[in-house]
Amino acid sequence: MKTLLLASALFVGLFSSTAAVPPPAPFPFPVPYHAFCRALWLFATPCAEISTTIVQQIQVSGPQYALVSALPLFVKANHTSPDGVQAQNITFSFSPTVLTGGCRVSAQSTSLGFTSLLDDGLNYCNLYNLLSNSGLISAPGFMEMTNEWACLGYGLAKCKA
């Protein structure tokens, strides 16, 4: 009963406040937003091996990538675009999959500046290029799970050959 009253109070509040909100600005509305890509990678290889490979790949990937910190199960890096204007934070967290002796990697790249809703797959490519250039993409059991909601520009990313 209490819940019901609360719910209807919220409902009324919602409608009355909606009425007071000014009409939306004309489209395109510049939405302040940290563009990001989040992906889950599965491997049939232990995490120690996967994280070592990723750290090495960050280190050999040239001036665009910089390793910030590396713990056994958590790696932080950043990426700066060739024009030096855009920067993205990159994190990897590694979870051993106990039953299969494999590794589950939660990878994320986030734009530091407020960018538009379109990033041309930049954040996805930050992750994908490490995967692809290190050969992890053909590692045993490799599987990638993401979608357009978790990873902006995933469907259109040009780095996917």
Ligand X SMILES: *[C@@H]1O[C@H](CO)[C@@H](O)[C@H](O)[C@H]1NC(C)=O
Site for ligand X, rule CB under 6 A: 34, 66, 68, 76, 78, 80, 87, 89, 110, 112
Q: For ligand X, which is the closer residue by CB, 12 or 71?
A: 71
Residues 69 and 73: their CA atoms lie apart, in Å, by 11
Our CB check for ligand X shows the closer of 58 and 125 to be 58
Give the shortest CB-65-to-ligand X separation in angstroms.
Answer: 9
Quote the CA–CA distance of 40 and 26 in Å, as a whole number: 37
Q: Least distance (Å) from ligand X to the CB of residue 57? A: 16
Q: Contact, 85 vs 64, CB < 8 A? A: no
Measured between alpha carbons, how far is 149 from 156 in angstroms, rounded to an integer?
13
7-to-16, 17, 20, 80, 158 alpha-carbon distances in Å: 14, 15, 20, 47, 46
- The residue among 130, 124, 128, 138 whose CA lies nearest residue 45 is 138
Q: Which is nearer to ligand X, 115 or 134 (CB)?
A: 115
Minimum CB–partner distance for residue 30 and ligand X (Å): 18
Q: Which is nearer to ligand X, 78 or 115 (CB)?
A: 78
The encoded tokens of residue 20 equal 């007071």
User: C-beta of 124: minimal distance to ligand X in Å?
Assistant: 17
